[in-house]
Amino acid sequence: MHLSYFTNIIPLTGNEYLLLKPGSKPLTVDGEVVETIKTPSCAPKEVINALIKEGFITNLKPEEEVALFYSFLEQNESQIKGKYSIAITYNCNFACTYCYERNISKDSTISREMIDRFYEIAFSNRDKIRDSIGITGGEPLMYENAEILEYLLREGKRKRICF
């Protein structure tokens, strides 16, 4: 039994931590639970069972977890096909302690040329009429991103893409 390859432990304040893992609900725990995850053989059974149920600890080897993840993607390909995400910036006006993007450079915003290239690559071989794009990044709706966001949306609309 060990920490899942996909589990992120994010310090919050004091003795609190946030456990994040794709496909699991986020959990706020204390330092004792974090230590439990690191050495599960010493933990109370009810804590271990709860962490296993949510997938934060596992018996799978990392390569088995990755294979399972790709198997899930293949099984659900029809639902995710044609869905894209684009980070227009990593700049943000917040300082969330749990942010997994906090160590990424925040000095740049995507250019029009990069957006054009994204559309060219992502949608050159479309087999669907409507694709969709999720807009991500630090805080993409900040005023300073308005011009590039408008460009992204206008070009997407011309290509019949949903946002």
pLDDT digit string, tens, across residues 106-120: 677 888 999 988 888
φ and ψ at residue 93, rounded to 5 degrees: -100, 15
Q: Which 3 state secondary structure label does DSSP give 97?
A: coil
Q: Which residue has the higher pLDDT, 115 or 43?
A: 115
CA distance 66 to 18: 22
Q: Helices 146-158 and 112-122, interaxial angle, to 10°?
A: 30
**pTM value?**
0.51
Structure tokens at 71: 């198997």
Work out the mean pLDDT of the chain and round it to a whole number.
81
pLDDT for position 128: 55
